């Protein structure tokens, strides 16, 4: 796709990986609408990226269907189109830990953003994109954690990302079946250690979904501990340049790939081992094996 003059919407684009996507899209000449729940970060990001192209922010809570509908109305009224949709906003479940020590509010918050937020974003924009009758792409940010195999201490987050990957795979198949001009893709961020705001995702956690029994981060769930685990598992642990990551995603879209993001080839041995274990009725290996 020639991005010049195209309109892109990036949820969760005010920081981290989403901001890298916005940077890459602006560099390629797209007009970008950044949708994010964190108002100060959103206005800072738009101010800082304005020199790179046409970008504006619309405060949006993807967990709120009315907010996503208002975003779509805003985009179609003001821009008249949406060619590229990045359903990227995501949170953790608040620190992870033993699955049976997570609370139902951890599930509610994580799924409200990661699963219902992605579903709502796709359900709101995709019919409009199809009705436009022009080529388009939707990209959902999943995670190798859940999309490929779970990290056991991140059971809630992994479950949410497994849902994202499964949903988008179904969407992509159905779009092909009906011969749509719009494609769907899953993005697995990777290439090393991603030093983003995900580690402090609780800053955007709604008060009504706080834990009933607050506790410090569970062992193994802090950024330094995660880095140590990657190194121990022989996985890449250098800090990734997030603008490079965004550029790589667009290059993979150019190549017509379904799976976007660097390093997906390294999943192959693990997925083969998982398939073998499942076929034998055994517990499959995790992402950190």
Ligand X SMILES: NC(=O)c1ccc[n+]([C@@H]2O[C@H](COP(=O)([O-])OP(=O)(O)OC[C@H]3O[C@@H](n4cnc5c(N)ncnc54)[C@H](O)[C@@H]3O)[C@@H](O)[C@H]2O)c1
**What are the catalytic residues?**
157
User: Residue with structure tokens 């719009």?
Assistant: 182
Which one of 9, 25, 38, 102 is in contact with ligand X (CB under 6 A)?
38
Residue 36 CB, nearest approach to ligand X (Å) = 5
Residue 64 CB, nearest approach to ligand X (Å) = 8
The token pair at 237 is 């642990």
Strand, helix or coil for residue 36: strand
Nearest to 248 by CA among 235, 230, 265, 263: 263
**Residue closer to ligand X (CB basis): 94 or 189:** 189
Cβ atoms 39, 59 nearer than 8 A: yes
By CB under 6 A, tell whether 175 contacts ligand X. no
What is the strand order of the sheet 55-59 is part of? 55-59, 31-36, 7-11, 84-87, 136-141, 182-187, 259-260
By CB under 6 A, tell whether 146 contacts ligand X. no
Contact positions with ligand X (CB under 6 A) in 40-79: 41, 60-63
**Residue closer to ligand X (CB basis): 7 or 287:** 287
Say how many C-beta atoms besides its own lie within 10 A of residue 115's C-beta: 20
Cβ atoms 219, 225 nearer than 8 A: yes
Q: CA torsion angle for 216, 219, 223, 224 (degrees, to 10)?
A: 120
Nearest to 151 by CA among 249, 221, 246: 221
Binding footprint of ligand X, residue count (CB under 6 A): 30
**Residue closer to ligand X (CB basis): 3 or 157:** 157
Which one of 9, 10, 37, 82 is in contact with ligand X (CB under 6 A)?
37
Which one of 31, 36, 71, 120 is in contact with ligand X (CB under 6 A)?
36
Site string for ligand X, 107-136 (x = CB under 6 A): ------x---x-------------------
State the pairing for strand pair 31-36/7-11: parallel
User: Residue with structure tokens 């003059």?
Assistant: 5
Nearest to 61 by CA among 79, 38, 84, 41: 38
Residue 60 CB, nearest approach to ligand X (Å) = 5
**Residue closer to ligand X (CB basis): 107 or 132:** 107
Q: Which stretch binds ligand X (CB under 6 A): 15-23, 75-83, 173-181, 277-285?
A: 15-23
Question: Which residues are at the interface with ligand X (CB under 6 A)?
Answer: 11-12, 14-18, 36-38, 41, 60-63, 88-91, 113, 117, 141, 143, 189, 194, 196-198, 201, 204
């Amino acid at each position: 796709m020639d991005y010049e003059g195209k309109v892109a919407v990036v949820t969760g684009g005010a920081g981290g990986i989403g901001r890298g996507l916005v940077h890459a899209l602006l560099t390629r000449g797209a007009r970008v609408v950044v949708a994010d729940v964190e108002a100060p970060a959103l206005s800072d990001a738009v101010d800082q990226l304005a020199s790179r192209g046409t970008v504006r922010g619309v405060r949006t809570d993807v967990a709120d269907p009315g907010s996503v509908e208002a975003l779509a109305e805003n985009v179609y009224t003001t821009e008249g189109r949406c060619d590229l949709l990045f359903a990227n906003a995501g949170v953790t479940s608040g620190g992870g830990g033993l699955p049976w020590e997570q609370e139902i509010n951890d599930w509610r918050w994580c799924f409200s953003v990661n699963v219902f937020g992605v579903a709502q974003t796709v359900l709101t924009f995709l019919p409009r994109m199809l009705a436009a009758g022009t080529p388009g792409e939707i990209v959902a940010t999943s995670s190798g954690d859940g999309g490929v195999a779970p990290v056991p201490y991140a059971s809630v987050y992994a479950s949410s990302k497994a849902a994202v990957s499964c949903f988008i795979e179904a969407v992509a198949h159905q779009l092909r079946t009906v011969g749509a001009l719009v494609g769907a893709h899953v993005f697995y961020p990777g290439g090393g250690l991603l030093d983003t705001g995900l580690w402090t995702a609780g800053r955007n956690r709604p008060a009504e979904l706080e834990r009933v029994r607050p506790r410090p981060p569970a062992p193994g769930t802090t950024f330094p501990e995660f880095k140590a685990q990657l190194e121990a598992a022989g996985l890449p642990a250098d800090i990734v340049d997030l603008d490079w990551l965004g550029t790589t995603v667009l290059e993979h879209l150019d190549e017509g790939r379904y799976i976007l993001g660097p390093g997906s080839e390294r999943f192959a041995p693990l997925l083969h081992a998982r398939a073998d274990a499942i076929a034998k009725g055994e517990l499959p290996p995790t992402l950190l094996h």
